[in-house]
Amino acid sequence: MKEEAIESLLFNHPYLLDASFDCANRMQRQFTYPGGRIDIVFQDDSGLILVEVKRTCLVPAHFDQLIRYIDDLSTEQRLSNRHYLVGKAGVGVPTEIAAPRGYTIRLRLVGREIPHRLRFDAATSRYVPARRRDRAGVYTLRL
């Protein structure tokens, strides 16, 4: 699955990142500013929430990239204190790291916090983890 497909899924179904995103507004995909391009930007009452999606195993450079975005934008935008990095588990990757100025980067790993197999539940209008016996209508995330 391409990075863009995962971005699209998370942008349209932000509760897959965090249940509290029910109240977050979808701002923009591929948010461009002079210092770079952020995959997804949400907004809630506390400010902008930055989300960076990677197809590969996460490495320190991915954290550094998101920290740079936070540093750049914090001088001109009101940012939430939490931001997200999505990808595959890397060796020794923490679940959360502290970024400058009290910001936090939360990891969302595909296959752990974000299930590999999803099915759409019409009753709740949400994607939920697919059960083993589910065959039809299963959406599989492969990075």
As a whole number, mean pLDDT of residues 92-100 equals 69
pLDDT at position 20 over 90: no
pLDDT number for residue 66: 94
Q: What pTM value is reported for the model?
A: 0.86
> What class, spelled out in words, does domain 3-114 have in CATH?
alpha beta
pLDDT at position 95 over 80: no
Q: Check: CB of residue 8 under 8 Å from CB of residue 29.
A: yes
Q: Check: CB of residue 121 under 8 Å from CB of residue 108.
A: no
Strand ranges in the chain using DSSP code E only, listed in sequence order? 25-33, 36-44, 47-57, 82-88, 96-98, 104-109, 117-121, 126-129, 138-140
Could you tell me the strand order of the sheet in which 36-44 lies?
25-33, 36-44, 47-57, 82-88, 104-109, 96-98
pLDDT number for residue 129: 87
pLDDT at position 98 over 80: no
